Structure 1
Amino acid sequence: MSTSTVEAPVMTPLRQLASVGEWESATSAVCGVGNRLARTLADTLRALYPSAAYLVMERDEHNDDLSPHSIRDDQGKILYRFSYEWPRDGYPPYENRLPDTFRLMRAVWDPYDPENPAHVAELIDQLQRFGCLFDHMPHDLPAPDNPNRREPCLLLSETARPERWEAGGVLRPYSAPRPEQAQ
């Protein structure tokens, strides 16, 4: 009869471990700042395009990354399209400029430029990398490029409706009133 010896596992010193409470605090902080950044994006894009209601993203089929696709109004009409024929830092410029009254908000964007579409793309990428979740376009709005695909989006105004009202944990800086609240 053979006897085998089982060695005790090596324990990592406690100072090198993260507690579940630390993790929950960190993710809560990231989501809180993510929501505030989403409002910064929404207010900026609406200053550029006053009828903007959605920042629509598309998901890369190879690596699952999100990239901005278009800015749309509350009927789904495209106001600006992020062109992918251009290199990442060479999106076509917005047709509009920020009003002079936006001077103070520019400080919030530092070191980025709020009038540079590539910087919007970079912030969307960062929000996704840090685990922030996005709404989806309502099914009844036109999806010109692919009508069968659920398009992630950021709601930019009080006229924007999410695909699902009860979606929890998503970045939602603005939204239309829920149908049962609108009566």
Structure 2
Amino acid sequence: MSIESRLRTIAPHRSVRLRAIAGAVAISTAALVLSACAETSNWGTIQLGDCGYFAEVPGPEPWKLEHRDCTDPEAALVVVRGASTERCADEPFSSHRISTRGATRNLCTQLNAQVGDCYNDIKNRYAHLVKLRKVPCSTPQAHQVNTRVDSDDYGVCDNAKLEYGETEKVQHKQPPASFCLHRIGT
């Protein structure tokens, strides 16, 4: 058999093999990209009443809600409105993302707190909301909830200031809820 005839019989097989390998690489790459997106983005699955805390993740949506049962000690926040283009009533406790189309979407959350719960630093709001965590009350510099009312109460800390001194007020407008927290040991 001549070299020319050999090349004619080998070339089609090699071409088929190369196309199969290229196809497998393309499928593997697509699967990897899709699985990475699934790991970092859960905005589409978050629903009203879900609880958890935000964690930083790489990618176009830098925050991911780490779901927890609302009674879990790590459940620092509760979702009060799912992802929407409408602004949240409580900007300090909302998470923003920019979609691939450039539209800003907002996920609205509030403290998931009862009297006696403690947080690491209640000033972790806005861009620092990803750092807000519930912590054991024995944690140095923890802030403990001493008052909770189911209304938007500007004076929620009036009485607590007399008892605890340094307090932090958190007011949520929609749905209305107000909290007063004091730093442990003050």
Same fold (TM over 0.5): no
Look at both structures and tell me which one has the larger radius of gyration over its CA atoms: 2
Higher strand share: 2
Structure with greater contact order relative to length (CA < 8 Å, sep ≥ 6): 1
TM-score scaled by length of structure 1: 0.22
Normalising by structure 2, we get a TM-score of: 0.22
